[in-house]
Structure formats: structure tokens, C-alpha cells
Chains A and B, each alone.
Chain A
Amino acid sequence: MGRRSSPEVNAGSMADIAFLLLIFFLVTTTFEQDNGVTRKLPRWEPDRIDTEIVIKKKNIFTVVVNKNNQMLVEDNLMELKDLRAAAIKFIDNGGGKSADGKTCDYCKGERSASSSDHPSKAIIALKNERETSYETFLAIQDELGAAYLFLRDREAERLYGQGNTYTKMNKVFRDPQVKDEVLKGKLKKRLDKLKDMYPQIISEAESKKR
């Protein structure tokens, strides 16, 4: 054989192979990005019932959903659209003192004596029946969560300036692409402070049988 230059490899079928792989990935993967309403469940303590701590009635905001998906808030029938405002009013009332004797100096509520003492004491108790639909339940959870977010956002803007809302800072803090540890540390401090000002206390009590 002579010293021929080697013939060029035919790349015509490369596109076919790439297409094949492409189609494989199109079929087996999804674009799914999971978004969720995060909550923390209470610990399982079956013996707690007898030794339950006494909580003043005014510090509890009861939301009851029945099997027809109707909502009773503090024993009054309420539409879902009014829930957020009612919850904000309750949490932000600040009528008394917190457990360690501080008054809520940042609350902008009515300071009524018959509503919650302090955001750290204000408990939202959500009760549902077994027949309640999940959609309604989550819509209510969403509204309650939004009430807390509204208050945290408001305080964040007051403390850290216009545009620095809790929602925004939380988004940056949770973004895995942001690698700036100094920034994250700073954000964490701020977020924790805000969470401390308006702790989210939603109790999802056991649903009643029947």
C-alpha cells in the first residue's frame, strides 16, 4: 500500500445517533420542578392529651372546615377570600405581652384585649373533618401562610429598606446557585429575626372521626 492519506470518516450518521439520544431523553425525562407549601408537623405524643398546656382562648384563632368545605372562623361562617385579612388582624393584634414579658412594639394591629397577646403567642388552629377536600384544605393553608408572609414582608421592608421583602430574601437564600456564603449568612440572620418576630404557629389538629 502506498502512503495514501486516510479517507475521511463519514459523519453522515452522527445526526441520526444524536437524534436517537435526544428522543430517548425527551421520553424519559420531565421538566418537573416541585413547588410546595412547606409545613412542620407536630411531634407524635400520644400521652400529651391529659397534660395539655392551658392556652388562653383569645390566643387561639380557630378555623374549622366541615365536610361540605364550609369554613368557620372563630365560630362564624367565613368566605375564603376574607380569611387572610382576618388572620393578619389576629396575629398582628399585639394586645398584651409575650411569654418573656415584652409588648409587641412592631405590631400595627388594634391592640384589642379580646384578641391575641403577641405574635409569638398567637396560635392558629386548623381543624378539618375526614371528608373535607384536600383542595380546600390547601387553599386555607395557603391563605394562612400568606398572612404570615405579608407580615414578615412588611417588617422586612421596614427594617431593611424598600424592596428587601422576606419572600425575596428567602428566595435568594434558598437558591442553590447562589454561592456567596457571606451574603447567605447575612440573609439567614435577617430571616431568622423575621421568623422570630412572626413565628408561624399553625396547628393542624387531628381531624375528628366520622
Chain B
Amino acid sequence: MAKFKKKKSGELPQASTAALPDIVFMLLFFFMTVTVMKDGDLMVENKLPSAETVEKLDRKNKKIMYIYAGKPAKGYEKFGTEGVLQLNDKIAQPSDLKQFIYSELALRKEEVIPFMVTALKVDKNVNMGLVTDIKTALRKENMLKISYIAGKPGAKR
């Protein structure tokens, strides 16, 4: 005959937390694989415009060189109110581009260089004058592939 043990008082047994690490690790691996490292803080405003005919950029092999442009963000008012560039972690002017391009090229393997794409992350309120200056600098250095980074319409940025 089976015996039924009576529970002491009516309390529930403690929930097991043994599976908690597994769940957390799962989340951890998810984030490790899906996300990418941020490349530094933005010092310029960067509301991207939207466009329909966008193509995904291949991040592999460091093929992409980023140039940010926009008005200085909050806290960086000392750089003025006009549109400026951000190259890596520094606020810069179009005249600094040449130096920047050379330093970026030096970081990369030689066989990647012909396939490099310059990604222009430009704030939508910037005037074309600044963008033209960037384009001219790129053309002078023979970096002819560019991509105007844009959000998809409807997606919030």
C-alpha cells in the first residue's frame, strides 16, 4: 500500500532556479551573435533619411569605411552649429578627410582596398555643401564606391 506523506503546513516547495543560468546563457549567446560592437559615441546628430532602394552593406573584412556628418550633438556645442564631420572619435572638417582616408587604408589588407565602400551616415538636416565636399575628397583619393546610409521608410530611427 502506498503511503501518502502529509506535507508540512500548506506551503509550496521552492521553485528550482537551476535552469536560470541556462536561460541567461541562451540570451547571452543570442546577443553575442546578433549584435555588433558599437564603434564609439556619436558626437553629431544623426537622424538618417529614409529611402526605398536600399541595399544591405556587407560588414565582412572591414570593407566599409564610415564617415559621419551632422550638426554637433548636445554637449558638443563648442564645435558650432553648422554641420561637421565625425571621423572615428573626432569632430573634423572636410579638409581632414585626406588624412583620414590614408589612415583607414593603412589599417586594411591590400586585397580588400579595391572593394572598399564608403558609408556616408549623414544627418538629414545637413546641407548638400558638406556632402559635396566629402564626395570631392573621396573622388580625389579614388574612393569611388559610396553608399548613402538610409533607413527604410516606416522604420523609426
Contact B148 A15 (CB under 8 A): no
Return the contact of A141 from the options B20, B51, B56 (Cβ within 8 A). Answer: B51
Please determine whether B145 and A130 come into contact, CB atoms closer than 8 angstroms. no
How many contacts between A and B, using CB within 8 angstroms? 158
Is B84 an interface residue, CB under 8 A from the partner?
Answer: no
Interface 9-mer from B23-31, B85-93, B99-107: B23-31
Secondary structure call for the A interface: mixed
Identify which of A18, A132, A133 contacts B24 (C-beta below 8 A): A18
The minimal Cβ–Cβ distance linking A45 to chain B, given in whole angstroms, is: 9
- Across the interface, B31 reaches (CB within 8 A) one of A22, A40, A141, namely A22
Q: Which of B27, B34, B56 contacts A22 (CB 8 A)?
A: B27
B128 at the interface (CB under 8 A from A): yes
Q: Contact check, A39 vs B148: say whether CB atoms are below 8 A apart.
A: yes
Contact A43:B144 (CB < 8 A) given known A31-B34, A133-B125, A207-B128 = yes
Contact check: which of A18, A19, A22, A130 meets B128 at CB < 8 Å? A130
Chain A, Cβ-Cβ closest to B155: A35
The answer to whether the Cβ of B14 comes within 8 Å of any Cβ in the partner chain is no
List, in ascending order, chain A residues with CB within 8 A of B150's CB.
35-37, 138, 142
Interface size on A, residues (CB 8 A): 49
Distance from A102 Cβ to chain B, minimum over Cβ atoms (Å): 28
Across-interface contacts of B58 in A (CB, < 8 A): 174, 176
Q: Is the CB of B124 within 8 A of A133?
A: yes
Whole-angstrom distance from the CB of A14 to the nearest CB of chain B? 4
Contact with A along B54-76 (1 / 0, CB 8 A): 11111110001000000000000
Q: SS class of chain B's interface: helix, strand, loop or mixed? A: mixed
In the complex, A26→B34 CA distance in Å? 11
Contact A135 to B124, CB < 8 A, known contacts A25-B31, A41-B135: yes
Q: Chain A 173-196 against B: per-residue CB contact (8 Å), 1 yes, 0 no? A: 010100000000000000000000
A68-112 contact mask (Cβ, 8 Å, vs B): 1 or 0? 000000000000000000000000000000000000000000000
17 A/B residue pairs, CB under 8 Å, sorted by A: A12-B17, A19-B24, A22-B28, A29-B31, A35-B54, A35-B55, A35-B150, A36-B57, A37-B54, A38-B146, A44-B142, A130-B129, A130-B132, A131-B129, A133-B128, A134-B124, A207-B132
Q: What 15 additional pairs, Cβ within 8 angstroms, besides A28-B38, A37-B51, A130-B129?
A: A15-B21, A18-B25, A25-B28, A28-B37, A34-B147, A36-B57, A36-B119, A37-B53, A38-B145, A43-B144, A133-B127, A133-B128, A134-B128, A134-B131, A207-B128
